Amino acid sequence: MENQPETARRGPVRALLALLGPGLFLIGYNIGTGSVTTMAKAGSSWGMQLTWTVLLSCIFAFLGIVLFGRYTLATGDTILYAIRRRLPYGTPISLFIMATLILAEFAGVAGLTAIIVDLLCEWSRAIAGASLDSIKAANTDTDFLRRAFTVGSLRLTYVVGICAVVGIILWKGRYAFLETLLAVLVAVMGVCFLVTAVLLVPSWREILAGLVPGIPDDPEAMKIVAGMSGTTFSTAVLYCRSITLKAKGWGPEQGSRAWLDAGVSAVSMFFLSIAVMICAAGTLFIAHTPVEKTVDMVLLLEPLAGNLALSLFVIGIVGAGLSSLFPTILIAPWLISDFRGRPIDPKSWINRTFVVLGILFGLAGPLLGFDPVWLMTATMALLAVVTPFSMIAITVLLNQKHVGVYRNPWWMNVGCVAALVFSVVMQVFAVIAFAKEVQEFFQS
C-alpha cells in the first residue's frame, strides 16, 4: 500500500474502495475463523443470550477505531511511533506492545490456516458423500475419485494451495489488488452469512432479549464472553487502523470520511457476528448440540440445515479466514514500520522476511497438528493483555497540547474511561481462560 494521497479521479468501484478501503481491512481482519468459532459457540450453547456482548464490543471497537484514526489524521504519526516519542518510558512500552501483538498474530496465522484446512477437508467429505476416515482405509482397487480424497493428500493440497496463493500475493506487494481482493472476500462472506441467517433465524424476540446484559450459568460462559470481545474489540485492529490511514495518505480533511468508514466497519462487524450467532442458534442450539470448534459446524449443520445453508456458511467461513489471513501476516512488518515511524515498503527485506515467516507458520499449523482452538484462544488472550495499555496510551496522547484542536472533548474522555474499564474486565476473563487452557494442555 503506497504512502500517497488519493487525488486521481476514479470510477465508482474504485471510489468506493478509496472511501472504505481502510475499513475493509478492519472488517476482513476482525471477522475471521476465530470470530466465527466463538460466535457459533455462543449461539449453539446459549442461543442469542450474549447478543449484548457483541453490541458492547462493537461500540467500543468503533470508539477505538475513531480515537486511533483521529490521532493519526491530526498529527500524521502512527500510534506506536507516537507512544515511543511522546510518552514516559515510551520505548519499552511500545516494544512490549509490538512484541506481544506480533507473537499473538503468528499464533493466529497457524490457527487460522489449520481451521480453514480442517473446514475444507470436512466440507469435501460432505460434498463427496463419503467419510474421510473410511476413504483413508480404502485399498488400491478403490475408484479414482475416492483415492483422490485421501486424508493426507487432500489436506496437503489445501495447505500448499492456500499458502502458495497468499504468499505470492503478499510477496509481490500489490496492495491495491489486495484491497480489491479483500473487498470481494468481505462481500462474499457477508452475503453468505446474512443469507444463511435469514434462512435459519430463530425468534426475533429472542434476539432482542439478548441485548439485556447477563452471563449464562455455565463455567465456559466467561471464557466465551472474553473471546467474543477479544475478536471484536481487538488491539491489533486499532493499530492496523492507524497504519492504513497513514499509508492511504489521509489527513484532517478526510475526518468526516474516517468517521463514516469507522461506522461502516463497526456496523458490519456487528451484523456479521450476529448472523453467525443466528445460524448456530437457529439450528444447533435447538438441537442441543453446542459447537466446540469451527469444523463442528459442518458436521452438525449438514443434517440440520441442508446443503444450501451448509455450503453458504462454509463459503462464508472460508472467506472470513482468508480475509483475516492477509492482514494477520502483514501486521508484523506494519508494526515495525509503525514503531520506526517509516512508510510501509511492501518490497523491503523486512516485509518479505515476515511474509515468509507467516507462510511457514501457516504451513506448520495444519501439517504439525496444532490444536487451532488452543492457538486462537492464546491469540485472544495475548491481544487482551495489551488492550488496556493501548487505551491508556491513546487517551494520554489525545489530551496532549501538540494535538491542538483535535484534543479529546470531555465526552470522548468519558468514552475512553468506559472502554478502559471494559477492556480490563475482558482482560481478566481472557487471562483466566488462557491459564485454564494452558493447565489443561499440560495435564492432557
User: Cell match 515468509: residue?
Assistant: 356
| Among the listed residues 271, 264, 237, the one whose alpha carbon sits nearest the alpha carbon of residue 69 | 237
Percent with pLDDT over 90 in the chain: 18
Residue 5 lies in a domain: no
Residue 112 lies in a domain: yes
pLDDT digits (tens, 9 = 90+) for 209-237: 888 888 888 877 887 888 788 778 888 88
Per-residue pLDDT at 184 exceeds 50: yes
- For residues 325 and 173, what is the distance between their CA atoms, to the nearest angstrom? 15
Residue 2 lies in a domain: no
- Give the pLDDT confidence score for residue 144 in this predicted structure: 46
Q: How far is CA 307 from CA 76, 126, 129, in A?
A: 50, 9, 11
| Phi, psi of 147, deg, nearest 5 | -65, -30
Higher model confidence: residue 91 or residue 260? 91
CATH number of 368's domain:
1.20.1740.10
Q: Which three cell numbers stand for residue 260?
A: 463514516
- Give the pLDDT confidence score for residue 308 in this predicted structure: 62
- For residues 305 and 282, what is the distance between their CA atoms, to the nearest angstrom? 9
Residue 1 lies in a domain: no
Per-residue pLDDT at 202 exceeds 70: no
In terms of pTM, does the model score above 0.75? yes
Range of the domain at 357: 12-443
14, with CB counted inside 10 A (0-12, 13-18, 19+), is middle
Domain count, the chain: 1
pLDDT digits (tens, 9 = 90+) for 31-77: 666 677 778 788 888 888 999 999 999 999 999 999 999 999 999 99
pLDDT digits (tens, 9 = 90+) for 250-265: 888 888 888 888 888 8
Higher model confidence: residue 443 or residue 24? 443
Q: Which three cell numbers stand for residue 411?
A: 465526552
Residue 17 lies in a domain: yes
pLDDT band at 290; cut points 50, 70, 90: confident
- Give the pLDDT confidence score for residue 13 in this predicted structure: 46
Say if CB 264 and CB 190 are below 8 A apart.
no
Mean pLDDT, the chain, as a whole number? Answer: 77
Q: Which three cell numbers stand for residue 8?
A: 486521481
Residue 362 lies in a domain: yes
Higher model confidence: residue 380 or residue 86? 86
| Among the listed residues 337, 382, 358, the one whose alpha carbon sits nearest the alpha carbon of residue 243 | 337
Contacts of 138 (CB under 8 A, 6+ apart): 146, 147, 150
- Segment 174-193 shows an average pLDDT of 68
Higher model confidence: residue 265 or residue 18? 265
Q: What is the largest CA-CA distance in the chain?
A: 77
Residue 423 lies in a domain: yes
Residue 7 lies in a domain: no
96, with CB counted inside 10 A (0-12, 13-18, 19+), is middle
pLDDT digits (tens, 9 = 90+) for 334-378: 899 888 888 877 778 888 888 898 888 888 877 777 666 666 666
